[in-house]
């Protein structure tokens, strides 16, 4: 089904449904292969699981490294931007943790915020600086706020160093296109990813920054901030989904058929039934 009309995106009669409103600040939703959605409550240092079968929400992990952005790898491990010590974690289904990355050239990262995994396993992550009240430090070790790539063999390098404050990040399933939101500049860019994993051909996608983002199977890009704004692959705005909160942090597709838009917005989490599906690589 095509999406030439805005009306086709959302299932007829569907509006955002509040699932729960008892969190401090929700972030980082990521769906596993079964469509269950995991999300973080960063101030309370927990990762929660929304069950795609019965709609229940349960605690998946305590002491979660102040995780922010999340993303599943092809083996069912949950990758986390662990903000407490500015690390990248790999969390197994049994919640055992492998710390994949702790620093860049001996200096602490600003605060890995959001991440995406390309085909063949390279992890791309944004590293903005937001002063946290649970940190002892009060200044940056790395002045620039950049985007990095971590290869499966453990090598890390800068792939985008000319942004003000990169935040949301998402790539296409084929790994050829990467979207990065520069929330500090109020812009979102589109990059071509070459066969070596480098980012080239930087293009302005839209004059809107974003906290988090996702894609649907039609190639539409979902940005967050004041609600959720949807752009087609050319950068044309095609829909705005209003969320009755001051800030909408992040968004992903989940559910058994991946047709449920899962939205984190401050203390709340919402779902919205869609006609389009989220993309997946499983």
pLDDT at residue 3, rounded to an integer: 44
Q: Which of 246, 248, 203, 245 is nearest to 230 (CA)?
A: 248
Angle of CA points 272, 40, 52, to nearest 5°: 45
**Burial class of residue 281, CB neighbours in 10 A (0-12, 13-18, 19+):** middle
- Ordered by start, the domain boundaries in the chain are 6-273
pLDDT at 281: 58
β-bridge partners, 191: 178
Q: What is the predicted pLDDT for the residue at 282? A: 39
Instruction: State which fold the 6-273 domain adopts.
Output: Neuraminidase (2.120.10)
Residue closest to 68 by CA, chosen among 126, 133, 136, 135: 126
- pLDDT one digit per residue (tens) for the chain, 282 residues: 344 444 589 999 999 999 999 999 999 999 999 999 999 999 999 999 999 999 999 999 999 999 999 999 999 999 999 999 999 999 999 999 999 999 999 999 999 999 999 999 999 999 999 888 787 888 999 999 999 999 999 999 999 999 999 999 999 999 999 999 999 999 999 999 999 999 999 999 999 999 999 999 999 999 999 999 999 999 999 999 999 999 999 999 999 999 999 999 999 999 999 999 998 753
pTM of structure: 0.96
């Amino acid at each position: 089904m095509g999406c030439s009309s805005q009306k086709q995106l959302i299932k007829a009669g569907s509006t955002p449904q509040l699932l729960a409103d008892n969190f401090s600040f929700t972030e980082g939703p990521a769906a596993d292969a079964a469509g269950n959605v995991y999300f973080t409550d960063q101030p309370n240092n927990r990762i929660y699981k929304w069950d795609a079968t019965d709609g229940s929400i349960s605690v998946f992990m305590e002491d979660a490294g102040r995780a922010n952005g999340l993303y599943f790898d092809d083996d069912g491990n949950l990758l986390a931007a662990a903000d407490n010590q500015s690390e990248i974690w790999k969390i197994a289904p049994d919640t055992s943790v492998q710390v994949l990355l702790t620093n860049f050239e001996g200096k602490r990262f600003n605060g890995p915020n959001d991440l995406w995994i390309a085909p063949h396993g390279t992890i791309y992550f944004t590293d903005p600086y937001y002063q946290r009240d649970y940190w002892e430090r009060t200044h940056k070790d790395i002045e620039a706020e950049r985007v990095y790539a971590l290869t499966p063999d453990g090598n890390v390098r800068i792939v985008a160093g000319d942004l003000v404050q990169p935040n949301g990040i998402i790539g296409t399933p084929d790994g050829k296109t990467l979207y990065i939101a520069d929330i500090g500049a109020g812009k979102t860019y589109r990059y071509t990813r070459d066969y070596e994993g480098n980012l080239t051909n930087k293009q302005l996608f839209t004059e809107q920054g974003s906290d988090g983002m996702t894609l649907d199977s039609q190639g539409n890009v979902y940005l967050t901030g004041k609600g959720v704004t949807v752009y087609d692959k050319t950068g044309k705005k095609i829909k705005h989904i209003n969320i009755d909160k001051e800030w909408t942090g992040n968004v992903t597709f989940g559910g058994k058929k991946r047709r449920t838009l899962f939205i984190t917005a401050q203390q709340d989490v919402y779902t919205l039934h869609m006609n389009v599906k989220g993309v997946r690589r499983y």
